[in-house]
């Protein structure tokens, strides 16, 4: 999950919903997530818990 967040910030995608959308549409995000598609709430919970 940290790879996804770091890559998203590198390509200037900051909102959790846009990151979740990129996980469904962008092959780079899919590869980084090992073809998993976490919900935007899971991304938010991870972000709030780690960072």
pLDDT in tens, 17-48: 999 999 999 999 999 999 999 999 999 999 88
3-state DSSP of 1-51: CHHHHHHHHHCCCCCHHHHHHHHHHCHHHHHHCCCCCCCHHHHHHHHHHHC
pTM of this prediction? Answer: 0.85
8 Å CB contact between 42 and 20: no
**pLDDT score, position 14:** 93
8 Å CB contact between 29 and 50: no
Is the per-residue pLDDT at 51 higher than 70? no
Distance CA 18, CA 24 (A): 10
């Amino acid at each position: 999950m940290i790879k996804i967040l770091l890559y998203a910030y590198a390509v200037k995608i900051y909102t959790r919903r846009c990151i979740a959308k990129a996980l469904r549409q962008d092959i780079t995000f899919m590869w980084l997530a090992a073809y998993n598609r976490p919900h935007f709430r899971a991304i938010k919970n991870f972000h709030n818990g780690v960072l």
